[in-house]
Amino acid sequence: MQKVTAAITAVGGYVPETVLTNKDLEKLVDTSDEWITTRTGIKERHILREPGKATSDMAVRAILPMLEKKGISPEEIDVILVGTITGDYIFPACANIIADKIGAKNAWGFDIAAACSGFLYALETGSRFIQSGSKKVLVCGFDKMSSIIDYTDRNTCIIFGDGGGCVLLEPNTDGYGVRDSILKMDGSGREFLYQPAGGSMSPPTMETVTNRQHYVYQEGKTVFKFAVTNMADVSYDIMDRNGLNADSVDWLIAHQANLRIIDATAERMGLDKEKVLVNIDRYGNTTAGTLPLLMYDFEKKFKKGDNLILSTFGGGFTWGSIYIKWAYDPS
């Protein structure tokens, strides 16, 4: 029997209309466009400000056009996996709500909370479902980070934006799709990038709200150090394990958290800048949304047979890399 792999056969993406620029942030906190751009590479980010709209609504706006373009009914979807840390509620899962909103009446699924690595973890999980017999798996990465960002904290509010993307996975027996993965985690890093309150460790109280503990806390220097080393190393390792080199890798799809981390990863892999896809300047860090949003933005550049390396690093700590052989030509 031929080996079944999970091939990406369609890509979707969405960012909200409202744009928050570095100049806008200058009015909120002690920062500057020059300072933000130099240290992160970010110029602007999109924010979901529509009343009553949440992460699931952004997902729906990406999924339905993707399925329509592909000519697939939502009722054909078997599994929905959502990488997110900003689900509409603590429960039910965002996947559950998305299924209802798009009319995926025959699907089941769940959320994967791995911060910036959420989409990568979900992609690997979806790949396993395809290998075990599922025919159409929807893998999403979306976050409404503005809902947990303190816009009086200049260390975090400059970094994050809202949005994300999705992909459709289908079985392939010609060698295209997910070829290999290396996924990691280290819970000892949780104190350096996390949301202090709101979970069972520290349930919501007047005190936790007053102390602004429901927002993201990040110890930037420590996170940067871990991210530079681990994201670069795992990307190199997956190349080496699959006999790839700088010439045979066509594209690096790297998590968009900081341009310097992206550059360090590309350098470790020996890649020219022309092979490194970047949209951090326009969207900032959309957490679980960055990788699918990159693929959506640059889909027309990919050709059938291209070798893609996906790489990420997130809070917790979580990180990893996936090697994909692209399954279709641009249309």
Query: What is the average pLDDT across 320-327?
Result: 98
My answer on whether 48 and 106 are in the same domain is yes
End-to-end distance of the chain based on CA atoms, in angstroms? Answer: 31
Residue 290 lies in a domain: no
Buried/exposed 292-322: b ≥16 CB within 10 Å, e otherwise: bbbbbbbbeebeeebbbbbbbbbbbbbbbbb
In sequence order, what are the beta bridge partners of 218? 193
* Segment 39-60 mean pLDDT: 97
Could you say which of 113, 148, 178 is where a domain stops? 178
Residue 292 in this model has a pLDDT that exceeds 80? yes
Query: With 70 as the cut, is the pLDDT of residue 1 above it?
Result: no
Question: Active-site residue among 22, 46, 140, 255?
Answer: 255
The reply to whether 155 belongs to the active site is no
Q: 293 in a domain, yes or no?
A: no
**285 annotated active-site:** yes
Decide which of 139, 162, 178 is a domain's last residue. Answer: 178
- Which entry of 46, 94, 96, 116 is annotated as an active-site residue? 116
Query: What are the backbone angles phi and psi of residue 193, rounded to the nearest 5°?
Result: -155, 100
Are 201 and 85 contained in the same domain?
A: no
For residues 154-177, give the mean pLDDT. Answer: 97
Q: Is residue 330 part of a domain?
A: no
Domain match, 166 and 188 both: no
Segment 181-189 mean pLDDT: 97
Q: Which of 22, 96, 172, 285 is catalytic?
A: 285
The DSSP annotation for 120-155 comes to HHHHHHHHHHHHTT-S-EEEEEEEEGGGG--TT-TT
Average pLDDT estimate for 211-230: 94
Q: What is the pLDDT of residues 31-49, one digit of tens each?
A: 999 999 999 999 999 999 9
Paired residues of 141 in beta bridges: 83, 165
203 and 171 together in one domain: no
Whether 172 and 31 map to the same domain: the answer is yes
CATH number, residue 20:
3.40.47.10
| % of the chain residues with pLDDT over 90 | 99
Q: Is residue 289 domain-resident?
A: no
Q: Is residue 317 part of a domain?
A: yes
Total structural domains in the chain? 2
CA dist., res. 127 & res. 16, Å (int): 29
Q: Kindly report, residue by residue over 101-119, the tens digit of the pLDDT.
A: 999 999 999 999 999 999 9
- Residue span of the structural domain in which 134 resides: 5-178
| Pair 115, 263 in one domain | no
Decide if pLDDT at 244 tops 80.
Answer: yes
Same-domain check for residues 49 and 87: yes
Q: Do residue 117 and residue 211 come from a single domain?
A: no
134 and 226, same domain (yes or no) = no
Q: pLDDT tens digits for 199-216?
A: 999 999 999 999 999 999
In a domain, residue 48? The reply is yes
Number of other CB atoms surrounding residue 229 within 10 Å: 15
Concatenating the DSSP letter of every residue in 242-304 gives TT--TTT--EEEE--S-HHHHHHHHHHHT--GGGB---HHHH-B-GGGHHHHHHHHTGGG--T
> Could you tell me if residue 286 is inside a domain?
no
Pair 312, 240 in one domain: yes
Same domain assignment for residues 107 and 197: no
Look at residue 331 and tell me whether its pLDDT is greater than 90: no
- Mean pLDDT of all residues belonging to the chain: 97
Q: What is the pLDDT of residue 163?
A: 98
Instruction: Measure the CA–CA gap between 326 and 331, rounded to whole angstroms.
Output: 14
pLDDT for position 2: 80
> Within a domain: residue 291?
no
The domain boundary residue, chosen from 138, 161, 178: 178
Say if residue 19 is in the same domain as residue 133: yes
pLDDT digits (tens, 9 = 90+) for 301-314: 999 999 999 999 99
User: What's the average model confidence in pLDDT over 232-258?
Assistant: 98
Is 46 part of the annotated catalytic residue set? Answer: no
SS3 label, residue 43: coil
